[in-house]
Amino acid sequence: MIRVLFVCLGNICRSPMAEAVLRSKVEKAGLANQIEIDSAGTGDWHIGEPPHEGTADILLKQNISTDGIKARQVKEADLLHFQYVVAMDAGNLGELHEMAGINPTTSISRLMDYVSGSEIEDVPDPYFEGNFKEVYEMVDAGCEKLLEHIRKEEGI
């Protein structure tokens, strides 16, 4: 089983959006029995909460389910369990690298790293800006390229 974990700050906007989008793409590709997807936050403010209303609304418009998604905090064990740990921005990336130490056993990257030629490195946090449509477009593009990368790397 290939395991992917998306990480943002509070795990109610960007990372659950990416979880739902990639899950939808994986299901459409017929790979649901080969790829497990989850999300978590570096902070603990929203543990147990469903995705933010803005995230839920934009995903509903795209016919993408958020069923079963609840906020949780990333833990060190995640860095052993997941092969792909994908941060939404540099701040989350730094925290994950710090958590992993000097010898990470998993791939830790930013979502936009998979979008070649992108001038944008970080997926902005829509919690403060309300720019859920823009964030969705970035997440959708990033998840498409991430899935292509996984399929190539893992031979599926």
pLDDT tens, the chain, 156 aa long: 999 999 999 999 999 999 999 999 999 999 999 999 999 999 999 999 999 999 999 999 999 999 999 999 999 999 999 999 999 999 999 999 999 886 667 889 999 999 998 899 999 999 988 999 999 999 999 999 999 999 999 999
Q: Which position has the token pair 């056993």?
A: 105
Q: What is the pLDDT of residue 129?
A: 87
d(CA 106, CA 141): 23
Q: Are residues 12 and 49 in contact, defined by beta-carbon separation less than 8 angstroms?
A: yes
Phi, then psi, of 45 in degrees rounded to 5: -65, -30
Q: Among 8, 78, 89, 140, which one carries the catalytic annotation?
A: 8
Distance of CA 142 to the CA centre of its chain: 9
Residue 151 bears catalytic tag = no
Residue in 13, 125, 140, 143 annotated catalytic? 125
14 tagged catalytic: yes
Task: Tell me which of 13, 14, 78, 140 is the catalytic residue.
Answer: 14
Within 10 angstroms of residue 128's Cβ, the number of other Cβ atoms is 8
Give the per-residue pLDDT at 106.
80
Catalytic residue check, 72:
no
Give residue 103's pLDDT.
Answer: 64
Q: How far is CA 87 from CA 29, 31, 97, 107, 125, in A?
A: 23, 22, 10, 11, 12
CATH number listed for the domain at residues 2-154: 3.40.50.2300
